[in-house]
Amino acid sequence: MSYENIKYDKKDQIATITIDRPKVLNALNMQTMEELRQAFTAARDDKDVRVVILTGAGEKSFVAGADINELAKHNAVEGKEYTHQGQSVLDLIENLGKPVICCINGFALGGGCELALACDFRVASDTARFGLPEIKIGAFPGGGGTQRLTRLIGTAKAKEMILFGDPITAQEAQTIGLVTKVTAKDKYFDEAMNLAARLAALPRLALQASKMLINRSQDIDLATGLEFEARTFGGIAHSHDLAEGTQAFLEKRKANFIGS
């Protein structure tokens, strides 16, 4: 499949999706969002892909935000549809069934920050900046920012970031739980690849089930969550990888997981 605004690469069971619009700091227009939908759908359906890395081209920005030229033209009906389309892409990423690592250098603002929030892990260079500045143009984060950020870092810090709209450093983002790891600028992608390789070596069904259960835990009470957990565990109890993993543990050897 050919793309205009992104690049899609695959190696060693890891798919790398790169937003490639450096001249506009990788700003998200609707074409780019639709290409992201296609790329993540392809990664989801490819049995050879175990982990996905999402990053941005260039030295200055992961994604500097939405394309303001598009945003400024919307009426009420178009604005709602625009938001729904963007949210659906981020929902796809969040619920992909495979781990997604966001690899961030430079600006992750507005829609870029929201895109990062939909991923499972966020690895940032020490030059990265995170923010949701929509309030300063009379808007608010409409790509899931008000919901995912609050769930991730808590109400008080989410209000501070969204209502003031000021960016924060990668180091502060790590302190409040927004970022998983911060590295030097020349090492952030290597760190993301290292995490991806570790995840790719783990049993696929257990990873998929764990991610689903954690995501669902945000929306259901404890008793329902525990029952869902028990039923899901029963669903993988007969899997090859669980049998192999337990046998390898007992025999004190490395397990040979095959993803089934």
Are 125 and 157 part of one and the same domain?
A: yes
Q: Is the pLDDT assigned to residue 97 strictly greater than 90?
A: yes
pLDDT digits (tens, 9 = 90+) for 192-226: 999 999 999 999 999 999 999 999 998 899 999 99
Query: Token pair 């296609």 is at which residue?
Result: 38
Rounded to the nearest 5 degrees, what angle is found at the Cα of 193, between the Cα atoms of 100 and 92? 10
Flag whether 1 is in a domain: no
Catalytic residue list contains 114: yes
The total domain count for the chain is: 2
Q: How confident is the model at residue 75 (pLDDT cuts 50, 70, 90)?
A: low
Domain shared by 115 and 157, yes or no = yes
Inside any domain, residue 257: no
Residues 117 and 133 in one domain: yes
Percent of the chain at pLDDT > 70 equals: 95
Is 259 inside a domain boundary? no
Given 114, 227, 229, 244, the catalytic residue: 114
Cα separation, 42 vs 54, whole angstroms:
14
pLDDT grade, residue 59 (50/70/90)? confident
Q: Count the alpha carbons within 13 Å of 81 in the hemisphere toward its beta carbon.
A: 8
pLDDT band per the 50, 70, 90 thresholds, residue 79: low
Angle between helices 222-236 and 204-216 (to 10 degrees): 170
Tell me whether residue 256 is in a domain: no
User: Does 180 lie in the same domain as 225?
Assistant: no
Q: Are residues 121 and 182 in the same domain?
A: yes
Among the options 134, 172, 229, 251, which is catalytic?
134
Enclosing domain of residue 247: 204-251
Same domain (yes/no): 171, 211: no
134 is catalytic: yes
Query: Does one domain contain both 68 and 170?
Result: yes
CA 41 – CA 113 distance, rounded (Å): 21
What CATH code is carried by the domain that includes residue 245? 1.10.12
Tell whether 258 is covered by a domain. no
- In this prediction, residue 76 carries a pLDDT of 65
Q: What is the CATH number of the domain that holds 132?
A: 3.90.226.10
Residue 260 lies in a domain: no
- Whether residue 65 is contained in a domain is answered as yes
Same domain, 116 and 240: no
Q: Tell me how far apart the 2 most distant CA atoms of the chain are, in Å.
A: 65
Neighbours of 219 (CB within 10 A): 9
The Cα 153–Cα 149 span in angstroms is 6
**Residue 28 and residue 77 share a domain:** yes
In a domain, 113, yes or no: yes
Q: How far apart are the first and last CA of the chain?
A: 28
**Angle between helix 30-45 and 76-94 (nearest 10):** 30
User: Tokens standing for 72?
Assistant: 């400024």
Q: What is the pTM of this model?
A: 0.92
User: Token digits for 4?
Assistant: 């205009």
Are residues 10 and 134 both part of a single domain?
yes
Q: Is residue 259 packed enough to be buried (19+ CB in 10 Å), middle (13-18) or exposed (0-12)?
A: middle
- Whether residue 73 is found in the same domain as residue 103: yes
CA distance 55 to 192: 10
* 101: β partners: 53, 121
Q: Are residues 224 and 210 in the same domain?
A: yes
